[in-house]
Amino acid sequence: MRIFETQTYIIMKLLHQLIFVLFISVFIFSCESKQEGNKLVTTSENNSAKPKKVKNIIFLIGDGMGLSQVSASQFYNDKTSNFERFSVIGLSKTSSSSDLITDSAAGATALASGVKSYNGAIGVTPDTLAVETIIEQISPKGISTGVISTSAITHATPACFYAHVKSRRMEEDIARFLVNSEVDFFAGGGLKFFNDRKDGNDLLKLLEENNFEIQTEELPKKTSKKKQAILLSDKGMPTMIEGRGDFLPEATQLALDYLSKNEEGFFLMVEGSQIDWGGHANDADYLITELLDFDKTLGVALDFAKQDGETLVIVTADHETGGFTLASDDGDYNKIKAIFSTDGHSATMVPVFAEGPGSEIFGGIYENTSIYDKIKSFFIE
């Protein structure tokens, strides 16, 4: 018993000494690394595994863009597709609260506000209560925001980022929301919902009173510091086949030049609206030309982000349109044909692409509302 107690005492003492030596070593080591840190601050920061801050987010939505649409960029593009520049890929489940197959309104309400609502809903819950959009949540923090679309700017997808109405068809009401919104830069079609309205009101005048600089003729090369309202057609913008040209990539570049002047950061939503319209029309040339325009626009976003280093680029769709596939219809596997299975939307999951700081959280399979949650997490703790 006595021997046992002595041994225990010796072991305890050794342990104490060991702990003391460890403590001293850690202390000395931390002093050394602190000194090193003082001398070589940038090196130690560069070596650290800490992810870079997300200051800006560019969120691009290809309306109706499923995986076959994205695959078209591989087969019908003479350049390497910009989709291939993304390192993180996920899949989004798109059903709405009312239907297994969503429409663009419910789809964008989920992406902009994180709520599953009914088909046709613009920024409202299934009970038609207004639900805050990401733009409404981050603007009071001093973050600049922009919305660009190749449809009318009052169309379902862009509308969900700033408006709250019970039906997507209420485009004149949606226009009024935009006039009074926190959006700093917008570009697209839809002029008639501002200056040729059933209520006779001139919303362009109201935009001017709200400190907007207005363009209705063409995309300017440069902007002033004023808020920017760019409305270049009565309803949707012309199609690529009709000669829309580089409106989407150029408006995106213009928005990036404008929004990046804000040191607090920005959020920009860019929609390739007519990928969906090509799908509805079961018109492969229409769909593919719109898709390639969107692909080119991704290049603008990715080039900006690469240079900037604090910009996260996210690309997704609200749903797939057309039940579109690239297949052989005569057994010749060396020929592909664009085949559609519906003139409406489909229930297939849609891809999510992410690149830049924070992109790693976009891998996996999740609900469309989760994309909103992830975006919000970078701006609001």
Could you say whether residue 355 binds Zn ion (CB under 5 A)? no
User: 133 or 157, CB closer to Mg ion?
Assistant: 157
User: 62 or 356, CB closer to Mg ion?
Assistant: 62
CA–centroid distance for 100 within its chain: 23
The answer to whether 187 and 258 have CB atoms below 8 angstroms apart is no
Q: Is 104 a catalytic residue?
A: yes
Catalytic residue of the set 104, 113, 139, 233: 104
User: 184 or 276, CB closer to Zn ion?
Assistant: 276
* Residue 273 interacts with which of Zn ion, Mg ion, none, CB < 5 to 8 Å by class: Mg ion
User: 194 or 277, CB closer to Zn ion?
Assistant: 277
Give me the least distance between CB of 340 and Zn ion, in Å please: 13
Supply angle C-alpha 275, 168, 211, rounded to 5. Answer: 90
- The DSSP output letter for 377 is H
Q: How far apart are CA 128 and CA 232, in angstroms?
A: 31
Give me the least distance between CB of 291 and Mg ion, in Å please: 14
Could you say whether residue 104 binds Mg ion (CB under 5 A)? yes
Could you say whether residue 63 binds Mg ion (CB under 5 A)? yes
The answer to whether 270 and 60 have CB atoms below 8 angstroms apart is yes
Half-sphere exposure of 87 (CA within 13 A, CB side): 10
Which alpha helices (H) appear in 83-170, and where do they start and end? Answer: 104-113, 134-138, 156-159
Could you say whether residue 228 binds Mg ion (CB under 5 A)? no
* Residue 157 interacts with which of Zn ion, Mg ion, none, CB < 5 to 8 Å by class: Mg ion
Could you say whether residue 276 binds Zn ion (CB under 5 A)? yes
Q: Write out the binding residues for Mg ion, residues 134-153 only, by CB under 5 A.
A: none
Could you say whether residue 119 binds Mg ion (CB under 5 A)? no
Look at the alpha carbons of 136, 141, 142, 143 in this order and tell me if their dihedral is positive or negative. Answer: negative
* Residue 137 interacts with which of Zn ion, Mg ion, none, CB < 5 to 8 Å by class: none
Which residues have CB under 8 Å from 154's CB, separation 6+?
A: 163, 171, 172, 174, 175, 178, 190, 193
Q: Is residue 188 classed as helix, strand or coil in its secondary structure?
A: strand
Write down the residue that tokens 């060991």 correspond to: 18
Give me the least distance between CB of 96 and Zn ion, in Å please: 13
Could you say whether residue 271 binds Zn ion (CB under 5 A)? no
Footprint of Mg ion (CB under 5 A): 63, 104, 157, 273
* Catalytic residue ranges: 104
Footprint of Zn ion (CB under 5 A): 276
